[in-house]
Amino acid sequence: MTKRATREVLAPGEEGRAAHTASLSRCRRCPRLATFRDEIKARHPDYYCRPVPAFGDERARLIIVGLAPGLHGANATGRPFTGDYAGILLYETLHRLGLASQPQSVAIGDGLVLAGCRITNAVKCVPPANRPTADEIRTCAPYLNAELAGIADGSVIMALGRIAHEAVLRGFGVPLARYKFAHGARHAIGRQVLWDSYHCSRYNTQTRRLTEEMFTAVMSAALREVS
Ligand code: URA
- The CATH number that applies at residue 167 is 3.40.470.10
The pLDDT, as a whole number, for residue 13 is 63
> Looking at residues 52-61, what average pLDDT do you find?
96
Q: CA-CA distance, 27 to 8, in Å (whole number)?
A: 11
pLDDT at 200 over 60: yes
The DSSP H or E segment spanning 148 is helix 134-149
Residue 219 lies in a domain: yes
Does residue 178 belong to any structural domain of this protein?
Answer: yes
Instruction: Note whether residue 4 is domain-resident.
Output: no
- In the reported structure, the alpha carbon of residue 225 is separated from the centroid of ligand 1 by a whole-number distance in angstroms of 24
Q: What is the mean pLDDT of the chain?
A: 93
215 in any annotated domain:
yes
7 located within any domain: no
Q: How far apart are CA 70 and CA 86, in angstroms?
A: 9
Predicted confidence band of residue 1 (pLDDT cuts 50, 70, 90)? very low
Q: Given phi > 0 = left and psi -120 to 50 = alpha, else beta, which region is 175? A: beta
Ligand 1 atom closest to 122 (CA): 6
16 pLDDT band, cuts 50/70/90, is confident
- Residues enclosing ligand 1, CB less than 6 A? 66-70, 73-74, 80-81, 84, 86, 121
Ligand 1 centroid distance, CA of 132 (Å): 12
Which carries the bigger pLDDT value, residue 7 or residue 33? 33
**Range of 129's domain?**
14-224
Whether the Cβ atoms of residue 126 and residue 69 lie closer than 8 Å to each other:
yes
Task: Give the list of residues 6+ apart from residue 210 with CB closer than 8 angstroms, or none.
Answer: 89, 183, 197, 198, 199, 200, 204
Residue 2 has pLDDT above 60, yes or no: no
The tally of CA atoms less than 13 A away on the side-chain side of residue 209 is 12
Is residue 2 in a domain? no
How many domains would you assign to the chain?
Answer: 1
Mean pLDDT to the nearest integer, 37-66:
97
Kindly state whether residue 1 falls inside one of the protein's structural domains. Answer: no
- The average pLDDT across 149-176 equals 97
Cα(133)–Cα(125) distance, integer angstroms? 12
Output the CA 80–ligand 1 centroid distance in Å: 6
**pLDDT(67) > 80:** yes
Q: Is the pLDDT of residue 178 over 80?
A: yes
Cα 164 to Cα 64: distance, rounded to the nearest angstrom: 9
How confident is residue 20, by pLDDT bands cut at 50, 70 and 90? confident
Q: What is the mean pLDDT of residues 107-122?
A: 97
* Distance (Å) from CA 89 to ligand 1 centroid: 12
pLDDT at residue 18, as a whole number: 75
At 8, the pLDDT band (50, 70, 90 cuts) reads very low
Say if residue 83's pLDDT is above 60: yes
Relative to the CA of 201, which ligand 1 atom is closest? 7
CA 66 to ligand 1: nearest atom: 6
- The pLDDT of residue 12: 54
186-189, strands of its sheet edge to edge: 55-56, 117-121, 62-66, 156-160, 192-197, 186-189
Among 43, 35, 112, 40, residue whose Cα is nearest residue 75: 40
CB 17 within 8 A of CB 147: no
- What's the confidence (pLDDT) of residue 113? 98
In a domain, 8, yes or no: no
Average of per-residue pLDDT across 76-84: 98
- pTM of the entire structure? 0.93
Query: With 0-12 CB in 10 A as exposed, 13-18 as middle and 19+ as buried, what is 131?
Result: exposed
Residue 121 alpha carbon, nearest atom of ligand 1: 4
Instruction: Identify the DSSP state of 7.
Output: H
What integer pLDDT is reported at residue 92 of this predicted model? Answer: 98
Instruction: Kindly report the protein residue whose alpha carbon is nearest to atom 1 of ligand 1.
Output: 81
Q: Identify the three-state secondary structure at position 75.
A: helix
- Amino acid letter for position 160: L
CA of 160 to the centre of ligand 1 (A): 9
